[in-house]
Amino acid sequence: MAQRTMREIRAGEVPIDGGTAIQEDPDRPVFRGNGSYDYVCVSCGNVLAQAMDPEYMTRRVRLRCGRCRTVNVSADVPVTPARRPRPGAGER
Protein backbone atom coordinates (compact mmCIF):
# COMPACT_ATOMS: atom_id res chain seq x y z
CA MET A 1 0.00 0.00 0.00
CA ALA A 2 1.45 3.31 -1.04
CA GLN A 3 1.30 6.11 1.42
CA ARG A 4 0.56 9.73 0.80
CA THR A 5 1.09 12.55 3.21
CA MET A 6 -1.66 15.07 3.47
CA ARG A 7 -1.02 18.70 4.11
CA GLU A 8 -2.09 21.09 6.78
CA ILE A 9 -4.97 23.28 5.84
CA ARG A 10 -3.89 26.85 5.40
CA ALA A 11 -5.22 29.64 7.53
CA GLY A 12 -8.00 31.26 5.61
CA GLU A 13 -8.51 28.22 3.50
CA VAL A 14 -12.17 28.33 4.18
CA PRO A 15 -14.15 25.22 3.51
CA ILE A 16 -16.45 25.92 0.61
CA ASP A 17 -18.41 22.77 0.88
CA GLY A 18 -18.16 19.47 2.58
CA GLY A 19 -17.06 19.19 6.15
CA THR A 20 -14.20 18.20 8.31
CA ALA A 21 -14.22 14.61 9.36
CA ILE A 22 -12.95 14.20 12.87
CA GLN A 23 -10.97 11.19 13.78
CA GLU A 24 -12.32 10.06 17.11
CA ASP A 25 -9.88 7.27 17.67
CA PRO A 26 -6.28 7.82 16.58
CA ASP A 27 -5.91 4.12 15.94
CA ARG A 28 -8.78 3.94 13.50
CA PRO A 29 -8.72 5.63 10.12
CA VAL A 30 -11.67 7.88 9.44
CA PHE A 31 -12.17 6.37 6.03
CA ARG A 32 -11.48 2.91 4.83
CA GLY A 33 -11.85 2.01 1.22
CA ASN A 34 -10.58 -0.17 -1.55
CA GLY A 35 -8.25 2.28 -3.15
CA SER A 36 -4.55 2.48 -3.60
CA TYR A 37 -3.32 4.84 -0.96
CA ASP A 38 -3.14 5.38 2.72
CA TYR A 39 -3.35 9.02 3.70
CA VAL A 40 -1.35 10.08 6.70
CA CYS A 41 -1.29 13.18 8.87
CA VAL A 42 1.30 15.72 7.85
CA SER A 43 2.25 16.41 11.44
CA CYS A 44 2.43 13.08 13.15
CA GLY A 45 2.14 10.49 10.41
CA ASN A 46 -0.99 8.95 11.82
CA VAL A 47 -3.07 7.09 9.25
CA LEU A 48 -6.23 9.11 8.66
CA ALA A 49 -7.66 7.35 5.66
CA GLN A 50 -6.88 3.87 4.57
CA ALA A 51 -6.95 2.42 1.09
CA MET A 52 -8.51 5.41 -0.55
CA ASP A 53 -8.44 6.47 -4.16
CA PRO A 54 -7.13 9.92 -5.03
CA GLU A 55 -10.39 10.64 -6.82
CA TYR A 56 -12.13 10.54 -3.53
CA MET A 57 -9.62 12.55 -1.58
CA THR A 58 -10.47 15.89 -3.04
CA ARG A 59 -10.05 19.26 -1.43
CA ARG A 60 -13.48 18.84 0.03
CA VAL A 61 -12.26 16.06 2.23
CA ARG A 62 -10.72 17.37 5.37
CA LEU A 63 -9.63 15.17 8.19
CA ARG A 64 -8.80 16.24 11.68
CA CYS A 65 -6.17 14.05 13.14
CA GLY A 66 -7.25 12.35 16.33
CA ARG A 67 -3.74 12.39 17.65
CA CYS A 68 -2.44 15.90 17.06
CA ARG A 69 -5.62 17.67 15.94
CA THR A 70 -4.10 19.00 12.78
CA VAL A 71 -6.69 19.50 10.10
CA ASN A 72 -5.39 17.80 7.00
CA VAL A 73 -6.43 18.15 3.42
CA SER A 74 -5.27 15.97 0.60
CA ALA A 75 -2.12 17.39 -0.87
CA ASP A 76 -1.90 15.65 -4.13
CA VAL A 77 -5.04 16.65 -5.86
CA PRO A 78 -3.88 17.48 -9.33
CA VAL A 79 -4.23 21.20 -9.53
CA THR A 80 -6.14 22.06 -12.61
CA PRO A 81 -4.27 24.91 -14.20
CA ALA A 82 -6.27 28.02 -14.71
CA ARG A 83 -7.28 28.44 -18.29
CA ARG A 84 -4.26 30.48 -19.01
CA PRO A 85 -2.55 29.88 -22.30
CA ARG A 86 1.16 29.59 -22.12
CA PRO A 87 2.89 32.76 -23.21
CA GLY A 88 3.93 32.58 -26.80
CA ALA A 89 1.94 29.45 -27.48
CA GLY A 90 0.83 30.27 -30.94
CA GLU A 91 -1.01 33.49 -30.35
CA ARG A 92 0.22 36.83 -31.55
Which residues contribute to the site for Zn ion (CB under 5 A)?
Answer: 41, 43-44, 46, 65, 67-68, 70
Could you give the CA distance from residue 58 to residue 78 in angstroms, rounded to a whole number?
Answer: 9
What is the 8-class DSSP label of residue 9? P
By beta-carbon proximity to Zn ion, the closer residue of 60 and 67 is: 67
CB closer to Zn ion, 68 vs 75? 68
Sheet of 20-22, strand order: 7-8, 71-73, 62-64, 20-22
How far apart are CB 3 and Zn ion at their closest, in Å?
A: 14
Kindly state the smallest distance separating residue 12's Cβ from Zn ion, in Å.
Answer: 21
